[in-house]
Amino acid sequence: MYQVLFQMAALILCGMGWRLIRPMGIDADAARRVLTGLVYSLLLPALVLNVLWKAPLGIDSGRIALSAACGVLGTMGLAWLIYRVTKTAKAIAGALILASAFPNATYMGLPVLEQLLGPQGRSIALQYDLFACTPILLSLGILLAAAYGESHEQTHPLKALLKVPPLWAALLAVVLNLFGIPVPTGVDSWLNMLGVAVVPLMLISLGMSLQWSHWRNNYLPLLLPALLLQLMAMPLIVMNVAESIGATGDLLTGVTMEAAMPSMVLGLVLCDRYGLNTSLYAIAVTLSTALTLITLPLWHGWVSG
């Protein structure tokens, strides 16, 4: 486990180093937008199509989706309650509810599970994200951001879902899979060639997004509940739900590890768009990512043991 994390940390550090050095004068945020756009629009859909086209889809897919949905919704409810009771300002509360409820299931979860569980790990990570996290984020998550944010922009959740290339790739893959259509050899090689670039580019872009420059001394009391919910409560909820519906072995390990991932990077986009506290959210992503070097091995040891 530690070897996997160290390899990932090396790629994340490349992205962090880019932010500091700015090679060829290229700003890290500008480079990150290009990398994430490439991954999001082309490389990740190719990987999704390749993996889910060949993955065994059945009752375990339902277990993955249900466990993930319970983790996201349960943690979101707890975060809403905590920040409501503490009367936290809406723009801050909205950002921290998002940081509490949505894990970095693909950008960090995919490489972790791929290294730990092989091809099955990739399938679990993509199903966890695309069958539960992303639909909830682009529906309930958008409604929450709009309600708590200072911007008056309105976006219909269905329109947001229809603009997600990996979801379209997942839908196509599921149809091809269920109808038993084999993957042509040439197509398989082409999809593999595109998909192999996803993990390193995602980790480098994740490193580019991490920053401490927005840190304020009064942030820690606000961040602590979000960090505990994201890194401790969510995996506990998911593990218990998954066990109760029959998940065992690598499936149980996979969904629990997915739930234990740090806060998602995509939340920065929602914070910017809807007027939530982007600075605080960026710190939550940075701090939760750093803490996973400690928490992920603990969860892996617990669930696999």
The structural domains of the chain, with segments of one domain joined by +, span: 2-7+42-304
For 241-305, give the secondary structure using H, E and C. Answer: HHHHCCCCHHHHHHHHHHHCCCECCCHHHHHHHHCCCHHHHHHHHHHHHHHHHHHHHHHHHHHHC
- In order along its 305 residues, the chain shows pLDDT tens digits of 777 788 888 888 898 899 889 998 898 888 888 888 898 889 989 999 999 999 888 999 999 999 999 999 999 999 999 999 999 999 999 999 999 999 999 888 988 998 899 989 999 999 999 999 999 998 899 899 989 988 766 666 667 777 788 889 999 999 999 999 999 989 999 999 998 888 888 888 888 877 776 677 778 899 999 999 999 999 999 999 999 999 999 999 999 999 999 999 888 878 888 889 988 888 898 899 889 989 999 999 999 87
CATH architecture of 2-7+42-304: Up-down Bundle (1.20)
The residue type at 69: A
> Dihedral sign, CA of 109, 41, 169, 264?
positive
At residue 155, the pLDDT reads 65
Query: What is the rounded distance in angstroms from the CA atom of residue 98 to the CA atom of residue 88?
Result: 14
What's the rounded Cα separation, in Å, for the pair 158 and 50? 25
What pTM value is reported for the model?
A: 0.88
CA angle 78, 287, 136 (to 5 degrees): 40
